[in-house]
């Protein structure tokens, strides 16, 4: 191989390396930054209390995360009435925006590799009614590669002063409630294969919950945002809830 050919081959190899290195580095750096931002969002949101905090106070506390917010309204029914509640979402994903914009235009074989880090997001969603914070929802979610429903941990904080305004409380709610959705693989005969996994965890609580229940309800594993292996069980996202 001539010196000129080797030089061209080396140049092309270097270009290919850079073209791969830049997007991979961008995704990894974004995931670690998102993990840090999610921890800050979690800490800030935990200082807010439904039934006590106003909409203005809530927005002020979360104003430093305004770039992550999407505003919306949701029509919900309760006690034979209809109400329009503002339901915002401060959503921190572990992928840079450019991936979702570029991915649809790439060949399938590239798309299979560009999502090498399991997509994960952490969000805080305040629900408002008449200028009052009535629900504060925390959610960490990671889609399954081979399934429809994602692994997710969802924590909703209510207040006894506003619980009549929300329709999603468990029927036997007394201040703290944990609900699981567990799944298991079965063979053609319906026999369980391996151990069951938990796909979703739902936690509801208000000021009647004990300090210990409050503490472990917010033990989100934010390392899921940077884990290459992923968190393939809701208990890996939010553990020790009971």
> Is residue 225 a contact partner of residue 142, using CB atoms and an 8 Å limit?
no
Residues 6+ apart with CB under 8 A from 52: 133, 159
In a domain, 220, yes or no: yes
Q: Rounded mean pLDDT of the chain?
A: 81
- Owning domain of residue 87: 3-237
In a domain, 57, yes or no: yes
φ and ψ at residue 18, rounded to 5 degrees = -65, -40
The mean per-residue pLDDT over the stretch 113-131 comes to 89
Distances (CA, A) of 219 to 140, 164, 193: 11, 28, 30
* Position 169 confidence tier, pLDDT thresholds 50, 70, 90: confident
Closest CA to 51 of 177, 160, 204, 170: 160
Closest CA to 213 of 241, 236, 237: 241
pLDDT in tens, 47-82: 999 999 999 999 999 999 999 998 776 555 444 344
Q: Name the least confident of 72-86, 110-124, 140-154.
A: 72-86
In a domain, 204, yes or no: yes
What's the pLDDT at 104?
Answer: 72
Closest CA to 28 of 232, 221, 227: 227
Closest CA to 124 of 162, 160, 153: 153
In a domain, 216, yes or no: yes
In a domain, 211, yes or no: yes
Tell me the pTM: 0.82
65 token code pair: 């995360």
In a domain, 242, yes or no: no
In a domain, 143, yes or no: yes
In a domain, 14, yes or no: yes
Percent of the chain residues past pLDDT 70, beyond the cut: 73
The number of folded domains in the chain is: 1
pLDDT in tens, 94-108: 999 888 777 777 777
- Whether 19 shows a pLDDT value over 50: the answer reads no
Q: Is 191 helix (H, G, I), strand (E, B) or coil?
A: coil
């Amino acid at each position: 191989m001539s010196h000129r050919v080797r030089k061209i081959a080396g140049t092309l190899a270097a270009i290919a390396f850079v073209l791969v290195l830049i997007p991979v580095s961008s995704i990894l750096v974004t995931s670690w930054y998102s993990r840090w931002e999610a921890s800050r969002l979690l800490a800030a949101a935990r200082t807010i209390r439904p039934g006590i905090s106003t909409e203005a106070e809530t927005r002020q506390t979360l104003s430093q995360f305004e770039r992550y917010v999407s505003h919306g309204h949701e029509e919900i029914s309760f006690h034979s009435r209809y109400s329009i509640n503002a339901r915002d979402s401060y959503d921190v994903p572990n992928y840079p925006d450019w991936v979702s914009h570029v991915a649809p235009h790439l060949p399938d074989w590239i798309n299979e590799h560009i999502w090498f880090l399991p997509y994960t997001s952490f969000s805080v969603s305040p629900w408002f009614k008449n200028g009052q914070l009535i629900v504060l929802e925390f959610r960490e979610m990671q889609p399954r590669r081979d399934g429809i429903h994602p692994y997710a941990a969802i924590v909703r904080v209510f207040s006894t002063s506003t619980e009549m305004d929300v329709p999603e409380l468990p029927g036997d709610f007394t201040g703290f409630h944990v609900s699981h959705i567990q799944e298991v693989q079965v063979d053609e005969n319906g026999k369980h294969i391996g151990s069951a996994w938990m796909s979703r965890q739902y936690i509801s609580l208000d000021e009647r919950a004990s300090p210990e229940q409050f503490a472990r309800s917010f033990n989100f594993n934010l390392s899921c945002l940077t884990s290459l292996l992923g968190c393939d069980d809701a208990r890996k996202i939010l553990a020790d809830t009971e």
